[in-house]
Amino acid sequence: MKKSSIFGLVVIAIAIAVIISVYSNTSTYGSFGDATKTSSELHIVGHLNKSKELFYDATKDANYFSFYAKDNNGEERKVILKGPKPEDFERSEQLVLTGKMVGSEFHASSILMKCPSKYTQDKLETKEVKAKSASI
Amino acid sequence: MDIQFKGEHLLPGQIGQFFIVLSFGAALLSFISYYFATTDDVGKQNSLWQKLGRAGFLVNLASIIGIGVCLFTLIYKHYFEYHYAWAYTSRSLSIYYILSAFWNGQEGGFLLWLFWQAVLGTFLIFRSKSWERPVMTVVAMSQVVLAAMVLGVEVFGQRIGSSPFLLLRQSMEAPIFSNPNYLEFIKDGQGMVPSLQNYWMIIHPPTLFLGFASMVVPFAYAVAGLWQKKYKEWVAPAIPYALFACMILGTGVVMGSFWAYESLNFGGFWAWDPVENASIFPWIVLVAGLHVLIVFKNTGHSYFTATFLVLLSNVLTWYSSFLNRSGILGDTSVHSFTDLGMFWQLVISIFIFLGITIWLLVSRWKELPITKKDEDTYSREFWMFVGAVFMGLSCFHLLVVTSVPVWNAIFHTKMAPPSDIIKHYNVIQSSFVFVIVLVTGFSQFLKYKKTDVTKFFVITGSYLLIAAALTALIAYTSGVYKLNFVFVLAMWGSVYSVLVNGKVLADAFKGKFKLAGSAVAHIGFGLLMIGALISAGTSKVISINNTGEAYNAEFAKEENPRENVTVYRNQPTKLGDYTVTYIGDSISSPNHWFKINYKKIDANGKITEEFTLKPKVQVSKGTMSASPDTRHYLFSDIYTHITLTNAITPTEAGTESAEAAHDADNDDKNYDAPVSHEVKTGDTIRYRDGYIVLTGLNKEAKVQNIPLSDSDVAIGAHLEIVSNSNKYSATPVYMIKNGNVFDFARKVDDAGLKLRFSKVIPEHKTVEIVVYQQPESKKKFVVMKAIQFPFINFFWAGTIIMVIGFFMSILRRKRELKTV
Give the closest residue to B274 by CA, choosing from B112, B422, B427, B108. Answer: B422
B418 to chain A, closest Cα gap in Å: 4
Beta bridge partners of B753: B748, B773
Q: Could you tell me what percent of chain B has a pLDDT over 70?
A: 91
- Cβ–Cβ gap A127/B271 under 8 Å: no
- Cβ–Cβ gap B415/A28 under 8 Å: yes
Which residues of chain B are within 8 Å of residue A122 when distances are taken between CB atoms?
171-172
- pLDDT, mean over chain A: 75
pLDDT at B653: 39
Q: State whether B634 and B678 are in the same domain.
A: no
Beta bridge partners of B470: none
Q: State whether B27 and B99 are in the same domain.
A: yes
C-alpha B169: how far from chain center: 33
Which residue range forms the structural domain that includes residue B711? Answer: 658-777
Q: Is A70 left (phi over 0), alpha (psi -120 to 50) or beta?
A: beta
Task: Tell whether the model's pLDDT for residue A132 goes beyond 70.
Answer: no
In a domain, A33, yes or no: yes
Q: Is B136 left (phi over 0), alpha (psi -120 to 50) or beta?
A: alpha
A32 to chain B, closest Cα gap in Å: 15
Cα separation values, B304 from B239, B332, B385, B388, Å: 16, 35, 12, 13
Would you say A98 and A111 are in contact if contact means Cβ atoms under 8 Å apart? yes
**Mean pLDDT of the region B413-430:** 83
Which residues of chain A are within 8 Å of residue B386 when distances are taken between CB atoms?
7
In a domain, A48, yes or no: yes
pLDDT tens sequence across B556-585 = 333 344 677 888 888 888 887 888 888 888
Residues 6+ apart with CB under 8 A from A110: A97, A98, A99, A128, A129, A130, A131
Nearest residue, CB atoms, B539 vs list A83, A87, A135? A135
pLDDT at A131: 52
**Mean pLDDT of the region B228-237:** 93
Q: How many domains does chain B have?
A: 3
pLDDT at B658: 39
pLDDT tens sequence across B136-181 = 999 999 999 999 999 988 888 788 888 899 888 887 777 777 778 7
Q: State whether B142 and B84 are in the same domain.
A: yes
**Across A121-135, B506-520, B522-536, B544-558, which has the greatest mean pLDDT?**
B522-536
Residues 6+ apart with CB under 8 A from B581: B567, B570, B571, B572, B573, B596, B597, B599
B514 to chain A, closest Cα gap in Å: 30
In a domain, B93, yes or no: yes
pLDDT at B527: 94
- Cβ–Cβ gap B555/A28 under 8 Å: no
- Cβ–Cβ gap A22/B397 under 8 Å: yes
Tell me how far apart the 2 most distant CA atoms of chain A are, in Å.
Answer: 70
Task: Tell whether the model's pLDDT for residue B659 goes beyond 70.
Answer: no
The domain spanning residue B733 has which CATH number?
Answer: 2.60.98
In a domain, B46, yes or no: yes
**Mean pLDDT of the region B208-213:** 96
CA–CA separation, A4 vs B372, rounded Å? 10
Which residues of chain A are within 8 Å of residue B563 when distances are taken between CB atoms?
63, 83, 132-133
**Mean pLDDT of the region B296-323:** 93
Give the closest residue to B369 by CA, choosing from B454, B307, B284, B283. Answer: B307
Could you write out the DSSP letters of every residue in B287-341? Answer: HHHHHHHHHHHHHS--HHHHHHHHHHHHHHHHHHHHHHHSSTTTTT-SS-----S
Residues 6+ apart with CB under 8 A from B169: B5, B81, B177, B182
- Cβ–Cβ gap B644/A85 under 8 Å: yes
In a domain, A125, yes or no: no
Give the closest residue to B757 by CA, choosing from B692, B712, B663. Answer: B692
Which residues of chain B are within 8 Å of residue A62 when distances are taken between CB atoms?
545, 550, 562, 564-566, 643-644, 783
Q: State whether B16 and B153 are in the same domain.
A: yes
pLDDT at B246: 96
In a domain, B85, yes or no: yes
Residue B374, amino acid: D
CA–CA separation, B236 vs B817, rounded Å? 7
Which residues of chain A are within 8 Å of residue B404 when distances are taken between CB atoms?
26
Q: State whether B670 and B580 are in the same domain.
A: no
Give the closest residue to B499 by CA, choosing from B478, B468, B541, B474. Answer: B468
The domain spanning residue A103 has which CATH number?
Answer: 2.40.50.140
In a domain, B493, yes or no: no
Q: State whether B566 and B665 are in the same domain.
A: no
Residues 6+ apart with CB under 8 A from B317: B212, B215, B216, B282
Q: State whether B574 and B676 are in the same domain.
A: no
**Mean pLDDT of the region B173-190:** 77
Would you say B618 and B624 are in contact if contact means Cβ atoms under 8 Å apart? yes
Identify the residue among B166, B302, B546, B783 best suited for mutation to test binding to A, counting A beta carbons within 10 A and taking the highest.
B783
Give the closest residue to B792 by CA, choosing from B605, B527, B551, B571. Answer: B527
Q: Residue B572, CB half-sphere, CA atoms under 13 Å: how many?
A: 14
B578 to chain A, closest Cα gap in Å: 20
- Cβ–Cβ gap B389/A28 under 8 Å: no
- Cβ–Cβ gap B555/A84 under 8 Å: no
**Across A23-27, A37-41, B89-93, B206-210, which has the greatest mean pLDDT?**
B206-210
Instruction: Answer whether the bond into residue B590 is a cis peptide, omega within 30°.
Output: yes
pLDDT at B226: 95
In a domain, A44, yes or no: yes
**Mean pLDDT of the region B42-64:** 92
Nearest residue, CB atoms, B555 vs list A64, A112, A119? A64
Task: Tell whether the model's pLDDT for residue B549 goes beyond 50.
Answer: no
Identify the residue among B411, B419, B427 best suited for mutation to test binding to A, counting A beta carbons within 10 A and taking the highest.
B419
- Cβ–Cβ gap B333/A82 under 8 Å: no
CA–CA separation, B645 vs B206, rounded Å? 35
CA–CA separation, B129 vs B60, rounded Å? 20
In this predicted complex, what is the ipTM?
Answer: 0.71
CA–CA separation, B502 vs B526, rounded Å? 11
CA–CA separation, B218 vs B225, rounded Å? 10
A136 to chain B, closest Cα gap in Å: 5
Task: Tell whether the model's pLDDT for residue B118 goes beyond 90.
Answer: yes
Higher-confidence position of B140 and B550: B140
**Cβ-based contacts under 8 A for chains A and B:** 172
Beta bridge partners of B726: B723
- Cβ–Cβ gap A43/B537 under 8 Å: no
Which residue of chain A comes nearest to B334, CA vs CA? A127
pLDDT at B315: 97
- Cβ–Cβ gap B624/A25 under 8 Å: no
In a domain, B706, yes or no: yes
In a domain, B393, yes or no: no
Task: Tell whether the model's pLDDT for residue B514 goes beyond 80.
Answer: no
- Cβ–Cβ gap A124/B338 under 8 Å: yes
In a domain, A127, yes or no: no
Length of chain A as a residue count: 136
Beta bridge partners of A46: A71, A95
Task: Tell whether the model's pLDDT for residue B736 goes beyond 90.
Answer: no
- Cβ–Cβ gap A18/B400 under 8 Å: yes
CA–CA separation, B573 vs B578, rounded Å? 8
Nearest residue, CB atoms, A59 vs list B334, B484, B566? B566
Would you say B190 and B97 are in contact if contact means Cβ atoms under 8 Å apart? no
Identify the residue among B331, B381, B425 best suited for mutation to test binding to A, counting A beta carbons within 10 A and taking the highest.
B331
Q: DSSP character for B236?
A: H
In a domain, A79, yes or no: yes
Higher-confidence position of B83 and B220: B220
Q: State whether B770 and B786 are in the same domain.
A: no
C-alpha B262: how far from chain center: 8
Report the range of poorest mean pLDDT among B366-375, B547-556, B716-725: B547-556
How many C-beta atoms lie closer than 10 Å to residue A34's C-beta?
A: 15
Query: pLDDT category, B267, cuts 50, 70, 90?
Result: low
Beta bridge partners of B689: none
CA–CA separation, B262 vs B627, rounded Å? 8
Cα separation values, B14 from B2, B21, B150, B686, Å: 18, 11, 14, 74
CA–CA separation, A55 vs A76, rounded Å? 16
In a domain, B820, yes or no: no
Q: Could you tell me what percent of chain A has a pLDDT over 90?
A: 0
How many C-beta atoms lie closer than 10 Å to residue B337's C-beta?
A: 20
Which residues of chain A are within 8 Å of residue B333 when distances are taken between CB atoms?
126
Which residue range forms the structural domain that includes residue A70? Answer: 28-119
Which residues of chain B are within 8 Å of residue A57 when distances are taken between CB atoms?
777
Q: State whether B30 and B167 are in the same domain.
A: yes
Give the closest residue to B281 by CA, choosing from B326, B304, B255, B314. Answer: B314
Q: State whether B693 and B640 are in the same domain.
A: no
* Span between the terminal Cα atoms of chain A, in Å: 41
Task: Tell whether the model's pLDDT for residue B47 goes beyond 80.
Answer: yes
In a domain, A130, yes or no: no
pLDDT at A135: 34
In a domain, B137, yes or no: yes
pLDDT at B672: 78
Which residues of chain B are within 8 Å of residue A120 when distances are taken between CB atoms?
87, 190
CA–CA separation, B779 vs B777, rounded Å? 6
Query: pLDDT category, B740, cuts 50, 70, 90?
Result: confident
CA–CA separation, B532 vs B526, rounded Å? 10
pLDDT at B438: 93
Torsion of CA A48, A52, A54, A57, to 10 degrees: -170
CA–CA separation, B490 vs B478, rounded Å? 15
* Span between the terminal Cα atoms of chain B, in Å: 70
- Cβ–Cβ gap A127/B566 under 8 Å: no
B164 to chain A, closest Cα gap in Å: 15
Task: Tell whether the model's pLDDT for residue B427 goes beyond 60.
Answer: yes
- Cβ–Cβ gap B551/A61 under 8 Å: yes
pLDDT tens sequence across B11-32 = 999 999 999 999 999 999 999 9
pLDDT at B333: 61
pLDDT tens sequence across B582-605 = 888 887 766 788 889 998 888 888
Q: State whether B126 and B163 are in the same domain.
A: yes
Which residues of chain B are within 8 Å of residue A63 when distances are taken between CB atoms?
545, 555, 562-564
Task: Tell whether the model's pLDDT for residue B652 goes beyond 80.
Answer: no
In a domain, A77, yes or no: yes
Q: Given B166, B192, B218, which residue is the final one in a domain?
A: B192
Cα separation values, B400 from B281, B320, B403, B408, Å: 11, 13, 5, 12
pLDDT at A136: 35
Task: Tell whether the model's pLDDT for residue B654 goes beyond 50.
Answer: no
- pLDDT, mean over chain B: 84
Task: Tell whether the model's pLDDT for residue B349 goes beyond 50.
Answer: yes
Which residues of chain A are within 8 Å of residue B87 when distances are taken between CB atoms?
119-120
Nearest residue, CB atoms, A59 vs list B536, B545, B776? B776
Would you say B135 and B224 are in contact if contact means Cβ atoms under 8 Å apart? yes
- Cβ–Cβ gap B193/A118 under 8 Å: yes
Higher-confidence position of B817 and B807: B807
Continuous segment of H or E residues that includes residue B736: strand B733-737
Which residues of chain B are within 8 Å of residue A60 when distances are taken between CB atoms?
550, 552
Nearest residue, CB atoms, B268 vs list A11, A45, A134? A134
Q: Are strands B781-790 and B540-541 parallel, antiparallel or unpaired?
A: antiparallel
Cα separation values, B33 from A48, B19, B66, B229, Å: 58, 20, 23, 20
pLDDT at B657: 39
pLDDT at B316: 96
Task: Tell whether the model's pLDDT for residue A134 goes beyond 70.
Answer: no
B45 to chain A, closest Cα gap in Å: 45
Nearest residue, CB atoms, A118 vs list B266, B621, B644? B621
Q: State whether B592 and B662 are in the same domain.
A: no
Tell me the helix, strand and coil percentages in chain B, rounded to 5: 55, 20, 25
CA–CA separation, B302 vs B369, rounded Å? 9
Would you say B307 and B361 are in contact if contact means Cβ atoms under 8 Å apart? yes
Q: How many domains does chain A have?
A: 1
Which residues of chain A are within 8 Å of residue B643 when distances are taken between CB atoms?
62, 83-84
pLDDT at B266: 63
Task: Tell whether the model's pLDDT for residue B606 goes beyond 60.
Answer: yes
**Mean pLDDT of the region B114-135:** 94
Query: pLDDT category, B339, cuts 50, 70, 90?
Result: low
- Cβ–Cβ gap A112/B331 under 8 Å: yes
